[in-house]
Structure 1
């Protein structure tokens, strides 16, 4: 590896360039599906002509968009200093090191869940295991410009899980190597005072 392939991170360790690029790609692959949902709520996508929104549906769809984008942005913590040490401005916890498992376990669980949901949604779209019906009896678009728009917006989500898993593995390796440098190695000799 050359020095261009890795970048130092505050607190020790180096972030591989591919991991930094992958972490920044995650919010971008999640964004199109969020824009689709916003367009749906605003009525710009006429998927369900005649659909009458219940009072809770629009806030739910918008909050799902915000929540998923916030989760995607958390991936940046795996390549930034605030993913290793709590920022000093945070009351009580500021300045403390974040245990590696506290980031790795939720991130890998998230990568597994997102990959599973994307696989299920893709297979369900193709094989129609479950057809979500609305009050007009329509399902998701299966042809025409709306189907292509839906595909363009949702297909990038397939990359979310694998990208998150790869960045999490890089984070775990970096933190493990940093920790091994911090812990003194016992050589079996008695320590002199």
Structure 2
């Protein structure tokens, strides 16, 4: 038995879902839209950089699951920034039990986003300061097998993939300020 898929219909549904998740609501400035859409891309390189380690030899199932989960969770959390410019950041989607169709409280979204921006800015800044000082966040010397200690392409790739994380917190803070201003004026 052959199952035929109606490609135009499937493509149409995907396009509608994409727009529902990404299209900005009225009043979103162009810079806020660009900043919000940039956040997942600041996280993507580090998420992709971790994945090959999950499938290298000598890694147990638990570590493998942790690495993959960390990459996926990082992207999901980064994607929530888009909620600050999209309709689902103002009105709960219909798939959310008990809250569907209700307005998202501006203070709840703004406080959680502002705290996230603060934590991310402090965390990634502290990580880079510690890295350049040659220690871990615990104050121990950076291990010899850490990517920044290996040298060559490994170190260059690591920096290329992890430096964008320094932008995550400030971009989230800027989009949060735009969200609060827009919701207050709207």
TM-score w.r.t. structure 1 length? Answer: 0.76
Could you report, residue by residue, the CA deviation over 1:128-168 in whole angstroms, capped at 9, with x for unpaired residues? 233354xxx63333321100010111011111111000000
Does 2:94 align with 1:88? Answer: yes
1:41 offset after TM fit, Å? 1.5
Tell me what 1:155 maps to.
163
Tell me what 2:28 maps to.
15
Partner of residue 107 from structure 1, selected from 97, 113, 124: 113
Tell me what 2:50 maps to.
37
Aligned residues of 2:92 and 2:100 also touching (Cα < 8 A) = yes
> Partners in 1 of 2:73 and 2:131 — Cα distance?
23
Does 2:158 align with 1:145? Answer: no
Aligned pairs (5 A) from 1:113-132: 113-130=119-136, 131=141
Instruction: Mark the runs of 5 or more structure 1 residues left unpaired by the alignment.
Output: 1-6, 44-50, 179-193
Partner of residue 74 from structure 1, selected from 59, 73, 80: 80
Distance 1:8 1:155, change over 3 A: closer
Could you report, residue by residue, the CA deviation over 1:47-85 in whole angstroms, capped at 9, with x for unpaired residues? xxxx84344212111111111100000001000011001
> Partners in 2 of 1:112 and 1:88 — Cα distance?
30
Aligned residues of 2:147 and 2:154 also touching (Cα < 8 A) = no
RMSD of Structure 2 on Structure 1 (CA): 1.9
Instruction: Mark the runs of 5 or more structure 2 residues left unpaired by the alignment.
Output: 1-22
Q: Which is richer in helix?
A: 2
- Structure 2 residue matching 1:141: 3-state secondary structure: helix
Larger Rg: 1
Q: Post-superposition, which runs of at least 4 consecutive aligned residues in structure 1 deviate over 6 A?
A: none
